Homo-oligomer: A and B are copies of this chain.
Amino acid sequence: MIYFNCDYNEGAHPHILQKLSETNLEQTPGYGEDAYCKEAADLIRTLCHCPDAAVHFLVGGTQANLTVISSALRPYQGVLCADTGHIHLHETGAVEATGHKVLSLPSVNGKISARQIQMAYYDQANNDAFEHIVQPKMVYLSSPSELGTLYSRKELEEIHNVCRECGLYLFLDGARLSYGLAAEENDLALADLASFCDVFYMGGTKCGALFGEAVVIINQELQKDFRYMIKQKGGMLAKGRLLGIQFVELLKSNMELYLSLAKHADRLADQIRYALTQKGYPYLVETTANQIFVILPDKAIAALTQNFSVTYQCRVDDSHSAIRICTSWATRTEDVDSLIHTINTLPD
């Protein structure tokens, strides 16, 4: 079985393992107060053109989401997000477990618009019963989204502007950030993210590291005492340097490894997309990064999944379903060739 079901089936890029081995017996302070974490944070501040950003390294995405959101909000405040948002659907109510309501908005292809956010805000702010309604205070976006789509620079800027107008914090979940940055369609630089968002994170887990998400807090209001939050929520890694070391490897030399790994995955996804398109299969969602959401006849899916593991997404009609095919930094060219070969021979 060859896995195209997700982008975290393997360990880490060998350079990263190598570096972990080299530094293994060094003695460093714990809890992220070591020189590697400092170096990685400095790299990120430079890449973001934001010398005052606070940077923290957490092990995983759910931990990052719940820590950022519960740190930013007062108890009666909630977070707006797409109804496909990871925090809404796939984190077992982690945000609610910290006491905050996730205020879901109908999404189009995994995204929400500035206009929707604005309306949601004014619906509450102008409602006579406002104290009886959760106060929206933060917007959660993911880019690439859970459906593989990207926010454009223009969309993100509009959302940024609405957030400023309404006093909302903008938080972007970049668990797959590198795949977005490397996508053909992308017009957002990392520094744009830093100027549009109050807080965002750069994913490591899905992008070449063993684990790790780099939380970048731009807005100084949100920086205070964040380490208390990390510790309280169980997210402070004793040997924090493991995170620092990995992000230094990924991000040094202007994100050389981070982006090259993502380009690898995106290019292979393009090849798969080409084969699927040639075959005439329609897409559930049009995407350009490392996730493909394609609609296949059930028979074709049955044939495909004899040798390839993919993710079942949803039923489309009586005889068709959508699946997700995912490439990653670790995907082997020969496995893609093999997948394409199989696609070309799928039954109708």
Chain A interfacial positions (CB closer than 8 Å to B): 2-3, 6, 8-12, 14, 17, 20-21, 23-31, 59-63, 65-67, 70-71, 74-76, 78, 89-94, 96-102, 128-129, 131-135, 205-206, 210-211, 225, 227-229, 231-239, 242, 312, 330
Q: Which of B29, B65, B131, B228 contacts A76 (CB 8 A)?
A: B228
A92 touches B76 (CB 8 A): yes
User: Which residues does chain B contribute within 8 Å of A70, judged by CB atoms?
Assistant: 75
Partner of A96, one of B28, B100, B210: B100
Prevailing SS type, chain A contact patch: loop
Interface contact A11-B229, CB-CB below 8 Å: no
Query: Which 4 pairs from chain A and chain B are nearest by CB?
Result: A63-B234, A11-B24, A76-B228, A92-B232
Question: Given A11-B24, A25-B11, A228-B76, are A134 and B239 neighbors across the interface (CB < 8 Å)?
Answer: no
Please tell me if the beta carbons of A23 and B9 are within 8 angstroms of each other in the complex. Answer: no
A89 to chain B, nearest CB (A): 7
Question: How far, in angstroms, from A239 to B24 measured CA to CA in the complex?
Answer: 20
List, sorted by A's number, 17 A–B pairs whose CB atoms are closer than 8 Å. Answer: A2-B27, A9-B29, A10-B25, A11-B242, A59-B59, A74-B228, A90-B133, A92-B131, A93-B99, A93-B100, A94-B231, A97-B98, A97-B99, A101-B102, A135-B228, A233-B233, A233-B234
Contact of A75 among B23, B31, B71, B91 (CB under 8 A): B71
Q: Which of B67, B90, B242 contacts A211 (CB 8 A)?
A: B242
Complex contact A234–B235 (CB within 8 A) = yes
* Complex CA–CA separation, A102 to B199 (angstroms): 26
Contact A239 B210 (CB under 8 A): yes
A129 to B92, CA, bound (A): 10
Q: Which residues of B contact A10 (CB under 8 A)?
A: 24-27
Residue numbers in B under 8 Å from A205 (CB-CB):
238-239
B12 near A132 (CB under 8 angstroms)? no
Interchain CA distance A242-B233 in the complex, whole Å: 21
Given A25-B10, A75-B71, A228-B92: A97 in contact with B133 (beta carbons within 8 A): no
Instruction: Kindly provide the distance from the CB of A91 to the nearest chain B CB, expressed in whole angstroms.
Output: 7
Residues of chain B lying within 8 A (CB to CB) of residue A6 = 30
Once the chains are docked, how many angstroms separate the CA of A132 from the CA of B346? Answer: 32
CB distance from A100 to the nearest CB of B (A): 6
Chain B nearest Cβ from A297, distance in angstroms: 21
Instruction: Say yes or no: B11 contacts A20, CB within 8 Å.
Output: yes
With A and B bound together, what is the CA distance between A25 and B328 in angstroms? 12
Interface-centre pick from A65, A91, A102, A232 (highest chain B CB count, 10 A):
A232
Q: Which residues of chain B come closer than 8 Å to A129, judged between CB atoms?
A: 90
Give Cα A233 to B93, complex, Å: 9
Asked if B239 and A8 sit within 8 Å, CB to CB, the answer is yes
> Which of chain B's residues have a CB closer than 8 A to the CB of A29?
9
Nearest CB of B to A62, in Å: 5
CB of A170, distance to nearest CB on chain B (Å) = 21
